[in-house]
Amino acid sequence: MELSTATKNSLMRRVHLIFFARRVLPMLVVEMGVLAFALQKIAEHVFINQVLWNAVVHTLTRSPLMMISFFGQAFINTEITVQMLIVGFGIAGIFMMKDMMRSTQTLLRHNA
């Protein structure tokens, strides 16, 4: 019994969707949970609106390099807990982006 190309493509699309839902999606959900947790904890310790307002008021009229310097100094002058949360947030974000890119490439490669 020979399956048509359309049937094979439809079947493989379903197989890849199930694979994505079982293997990749839970990992992305956990990573998003870690990011949300870190962001919530950062917001508990840092009044982000005030930091952004200070950055605009003190550096906008000067140069973009002053803004980078401002955020660097703001990071250095925070509590160690906040620094660890920010670094953790950045690392988790990088891993999440990597996993999302890899899973998107895999889905596109198999659906083509």
Side-chain-side CA neighbours of 90 within 13 Å: the count stands at 5
Residue 84: its pLDDT value, please? 92
Cβ neighbours for 39, distance < 8 A, ≥ 6 positions apart: 89
Q: Look at residue 89 and tell me whether its pLDDT is greater than 70.
A: yes
Burial of residue 38 (CB within 10 Å: 0-12, 13-18, 19+) is buried
Structure tokens at 14: 């379903």
Domain extents in the chain: 26-104
pLDDT band at 94 (very low <50, low <70, confident <90, very high): very high
Tens-place pLDDT, residues 4-20 = 888 888 888 788 778 77
**H-assigned helices in the chain:** 5-19, 25-45, 48-59, 64-76, 80-111
